């Protein structure tokens, strides 16, 4: 992976395997964003509605805040879906194996990093992966689906870290 800046954009050039992994992740995330929150499995629904770690006894104190959080998250999903549609369009250089790069407008870099994090978190929720398990060595995991999820989480973290390192100079 190589990162450079060009015309107010961040350009990330991927190795073929990195490109395939990223495309797979982004296509899955696009499907996730396209799905109505009400149609998601209960754990994902709770995540998007801000109900994962809230104490039920404090519910009434937070109702207005939770409603605001839910509407913000739903709006963010729509914004991020629009970016994904652009980056996954047939004309995108990311979809072309002979090019294999992604152009991200500087104003969209934060959203790109958040997209990657959304995919990491939704994978963790789907597979019941804890924060501690995210650091596990995938080679030591016997379950194939869990191993694949951990590999993807690691790859997305690697991509996030590389982007942040580049941006911090």
- Maximum Cα interatomic distance, the chain, rounded to a whole number of Å: 56
Tokens of 95: 């979809």
Chain mean pLDDT for the chain: 90
Pair 121, 150: CB distance under 8 Å: no
pLDDT at 96 over 80: yes
- Residues 41-89 have pLDDT tens digits of 999 998 888 765 556 666 666 666 666 767 777 788 989 999 999 999 9
Calculate the alpha carbon distances from 31 to 88, 102, 167 in Å.
12, 20, 29
C-alpha–C-alpha distance, residues 123 and 37, integer Å: 16
Q: Which of 133, 34, 18 is nearest to 74 (CA)?
A: 34
C-alpha–C-alpha distance, residues 8 and 31, integer Å: 29
Name residues whose C-beta falls within 8 Å of residue 145's C-beta, 6 or more positions apart in sequence: 127
Phi-psi region of 10 (alpha: psi -120 to 50; beta: other; left: phi over 0): beta
pLDDT at 66: 66
Residue with tokens 């869990």: 146
Mean pLDDT within 17-37: 96
Tokens of 83: 């970016």
pLDDT at 169: 87
pLDDT at 74: 79
Tokens of 93: 């250089």
C-alpha–C-alpha distance, residues 44 and 126, integer Å: 7
pLDDT at 6: 95
- Residues 133-160 have pLDDT tens digits of 888 888 999 999 999 999 999 999 999 9
C-alpha–C-alpha distance, residues 114 and 72, integer Å: 14
Tell me the pLDDT band of 108, cut-offs 50, 70 and 90.
very high
The whole-model pTM stands at 0.87
């Amino acid at each position: 992976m190589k990162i450079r800046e060009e015309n107010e954009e961040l350009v990330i050039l991927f190795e073929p395997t990195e490109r395939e992994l990223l495309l797979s992740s982004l296509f899955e995330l696009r499907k996730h964003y396209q799905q109505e929150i009400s149609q998601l499995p209960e754990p994902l629904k709770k995540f998007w509605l801000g109900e994962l770690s809230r104490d039920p006894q404090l519910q009434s104190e937070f109702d207005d805040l939770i409603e605001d959080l839910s509407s913000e998250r739903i709006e963010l999903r729509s914004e991020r879906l629009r970016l994904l549609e652009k980056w996954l369009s047939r004309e995108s250089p990311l979809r072309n194996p002979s090019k294999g790069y992604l152009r991200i407008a500087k104003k969209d870099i934060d959203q790109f990093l958040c997209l990657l994090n959304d995919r990491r978190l939704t994978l963790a929720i789907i597979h019941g992966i804890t924060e501690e398990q995210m650091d596990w060595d995938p080679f030591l995991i016997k379950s194939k689906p869990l191993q694949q999820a951990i590999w993807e989480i690691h790859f997305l973290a690697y991509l996030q870290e590389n982007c942040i390192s580049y941006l911090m100079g």
